[in-house]
Chain A
Amino acid sequence: MKRLVCLLCALCLLAGCAGSDPAPSPADGAVAVYYPTDWAASDAQESLVEPVWLVPGGDPIPFCLAKLTETPAAEGLRPAFPAGVRALSHTLSDGVLTLNMSAEFLALTGGPLTVTEACAALTLCALPGVSEVAFQAEGVPYPAAGKSRFTAADFTGETLVLVPVETPVILYFFNEDTEALTPETHLIAIRENEHAERYVLEVLFKGPNDTSLSSALPEGTRLLGVSLEAGVCYVNLPATFYATPPPFGHATAIKAITNSLTLLAEVDAVQFLQEGDPAPQYGDQNLETPVGAN
């Protein structure tokens, strides 16, 4: 008897597992229906609207219109067409899907209206033959004084951040053949409005890409800190930098740093510091005052 019960349990488990299918994909003919998240509830929401992939039984347009009014099965999503809002009828001509909305649609304004329009547009414009969605209520476009026709391109759900941009900067390295400092361009990923000085120095310390060039600075140079004030860039280096003789002379090392930095628009001169204090005598270089371009 016990064995039978166990067998039954095992079968039920198997059946249960088989029941939860993976989400349908476009390859299966599924469409994405967009629903709003619970964005009004807390500050911590990741997105405003989320797609749910469903397989339409027959004609996708009525299917989607019906689905948009329903509360989705997934957690944390709300119906795209809130209380009572629905498409009474629709017509498709020249890629424009005109939706005749119920009277409740007229009650929507501002943010909630945009959310509803966005869900409908993003969902329907992905369907074949639909490139634009037009909203009407009681035979007249709504909103009357604003935008009532939407394409998918009218919306963006991207997170609004500062994207690092590959910015070319010029750095000076030493060419042993010509015995002179030579400029080399590096691409640095900086965010807009971010100060480039730190990145310039870090890449300068790393060394040149071109193997025929060498770094004018001792290997393993570390940057303690950098700041910009009234056009003067304060470069804070550890004591080991000032104690180690650079490979191609003190003047070359200072020039490499100064010239690389002053190429930046906001830097006019470089003030060297040793661990926060004024820099000591560096070979034949006096670093008490800011060093300009050279």
Chain B
Amino acid sequence: MKDVTLTAETTQTPEARQKPGRFFLAGRYQLKIALSYIAIIIAMLVLFNSYPILISQSLIFRAKENSLSTRAGLIASSLASLDILTAKDAGQIMGILNDQGVSRIVVTDADGLAVYDNAVTENTQGRYVLRPEIFRALAGADVFVSAYAEGAFESRAAVPVMGRGRVLGAVYLYEYDAEQARILQALQDNMTSISVVLASLVLVLSIVLSRALARRLSDLLRGIRLVRAGQYSHRVTRRGRDELASLADEFNELTGRLQKTEAARRRFVADASHELKTPLASIRLLADSILQTENIDTSIMREFVTDIGDESDRLTRLTEKLLALTRLDAEVFEPTATLDLKKVIVLAAHRLKPLAKQAGVSVEVSADDGCLVEAGADGLYQIVFNLMENAVKYNRPEGTVRALSFVRDGRVTLIVDNTGPGIAEEDLPRVFERFYRVDKARSREAGGAGLGLSIVKDTVERYGGDVRLESPPGGSTRAVASFPLSPKRQGGPA
């Protein structure tokens, strides 16, 4: 026969077989977080490095355009007084102007012939300068071009010399500026070093943070796996004060509940098997006695066999009750309907007549009409019958059992009184526990196993009601059960 192990088999999942603390999923999550931090920061750093530089460049271009155009314009207006731009006249005026700055200045006449050029080498004076900037200026446009390359700003400007409403020539200016470029380069270098420092800080920070986060997650994950494998005593360490800490708390509570449930289940199974053993042992003993006695007296044998019958009856009752309990546990429910409690009480009283007569107990019923309850037929009958059976069994000879039902404050109340010995105060809270018996010897004799009241409680609570036992001093026991009054008419479906 296959061994039924009480603990779940510890199965090793593929993930769990990896090194502890390095769970596959946790590693991926950490990577995701770290990558997203890094991606954001890289994007920001790229922007940080490129945008200010571009803006600075364009500002400098604009400044250069202003300054070059102004200078070229100044030269052009000085020359505008001449009728024709000749080398001699232009040279004179340029000498007076004495322009400063790292620039090349070329002045041409209306045909593009250079009349002045301040270059020491490759001077173009006396030749036609075939440059688009100059010819565009000769056509009347103001030209400006600037570029930042190889560590310097190179800018060119060309403006026409206008005199008496016509173009006399063109002024061309070229500027080479390494100074501004150096400042810009220094700015760029500073930003690069700041970016590098920032990037490394962020890298470190993101790894640390993501690892901290992922470690807590992987702890939880590991905890879940351990509990799933059956280690209900495992608890997760609570770290920090955020949602993950709450998650850890919830996990621990859940596991605690699991552990309690598991313990209760084991206890139930242990108790059940213990209860089953007793009648089976009796049957064995009786059968052995019969078999071992050679010439057993027929009447004694009859007696023994009768006892065997009684014990097997007890077994049957016990197994029925166990079945009822497992059904309750498995939550397999019969459909509910609107039932009249009075009818159930009357039926239970009728069924109890033989037992009552045997015990010498009289049963009184005082049930009001209109006690409608939403319940299952079998379940409700079980409740009423169990309570009334208990009242009959734990009674004194010539005693009475009273079953009452009435409606009060929107609730249907069932009271079962008896004139029995009563229950001690310390036992009262525990009577509804499974397998709990107040008077062990007496109840076994009476055939009970301590399950009836727990079935009653579970069923009452399933129908939205509650039940309690009262035992006033001086004897007698009273069971009080109350249910919500069904708003529907009798017989209707739930």
Is B132 engaged at the interface, CB distance under 8 Å to the other chain? yes
| Measured CA separation A161–B101 after assembly (Å) | 14
A122 to B118, alpha carbons, bound, how many Å? 26
A-facing mask of B116-132, CB < 8 A → 1, else 0?
Answer: 00111110100111111
A-B residue pairs, 10 tightest by C-beta: A39-B132, A111-B138, A45-B132, A48-B130, A157-B130, A114-B112, A111-B135, A193-B102, A155-B128, A156-B127
| Cβ of A83 under 8 Å from chain B | no
Chain A nearest CB, measured from B103 CB (Å): 7
> Main SS of the interface on chain A?
loop
In the bound complex, residues from chain A placing their C-beta under 8 Å from that of B178 are 194
Cα–Cα distance between A45 and B131 once the two chains are bound (Å): 9
Pick from B101, B120, B131: contact of A48, CB below 8 A: B131
Assess whether B130 is in contact with A118, with CB atoms less than 8 Å apart: yes
A153 touches which one: B101, B102, B103, B127 (CB < 8 A)?
B127
Compute how far the CA of A220 lies from the CA of B138 in the bound complex, rounded to whole angstroms: 52
B145 at the interface (CB under 8 A from A): yes
Q: Is the CB of A160 within 8 A of B106?
A: yes
Contact with B along A139-182 (1 / 0, CB 8 A): 00000001100000111111111110100000000000000000
- A192 contacts B by Cβ under 8 Å: yes
State which of B100, B102, B128, B129 has its C-beta within 8 Å of the C-beta of A160. B129
Q: Mind listing 12 A-B residue pairs with CB under 8 Å?
A: A39-B132, A40-B139, A43-B144, A48-B132, A154-B127, A155-B130, A160-B106, A160-B172, A161-B176, A162-B102, A162-B119, A192-B119
Place the interface of chain B in its size category.
Answer: 35 or more
Q: How far is the CA of A43 from the CA of B112 in the complex (A)?
A: 17
The answer to whether B174 touches A39 (Cβ under 8 A) is: no
In whole angstroms, how far apart are the Cα atoms of A200 and B77 in the complex? 38
Closest to A49 in B: B130
Please report the C-alpha to C-alpha distance between residue A250 and residue B72 in the assembled complex, in whole angstroms.
48
- Contact indicator B124/A111 (Cβ below 8 Å): no
**A146 nearest in chain B by CB position:** B111
Question: Which single member of A114, A159, A192 contacts B128 (CB below 8 Å)?
Answer: A114
Interface contact B130-A43, CB-CB below 8 Å: no
**CB-based nearest B residue for A38:** B132
Chain A residues within CB distance 8 Å of chain B:
37, 39-40, 43-49, 110-111, 113-115, 118, 146-147, 153-163, 165, 191-194
A163 contacts across to B, CB distance below 8 A: 119, 121-122
Pick from B106, B111, B124, B167 the residue with the most CB of A within 10 Å: B111
| Across-interface contacts of B110 in A (CB, < 8 A) | 110-111
* A226 (CB) vs chain B CBs: closest residue: B179
Do residues B127 and A162 form an inter-chain contact, with CB atoms below 8 A? no
Q: Shortest distance in angstroms between B148's beta carbon and chain A's nearest beta carbon?
A: 15
- Residues of B near A48 (CB, < 8 A) are 130-132, 135
- Contact status A43-B145, CB under 8 Å: yes
The residues of B that contact A46 with a CB separation of less than 8 Å are 132
Chain B 170-207 against A: per-residue CB contact (8 Å), 1 yes, 0 no?
Answer: 00101010100000000000000000000000000000
- Among B82-132, those with CB < 8 Å from A are 100-104, 106, 110-113, 118-122, 124, 127-132
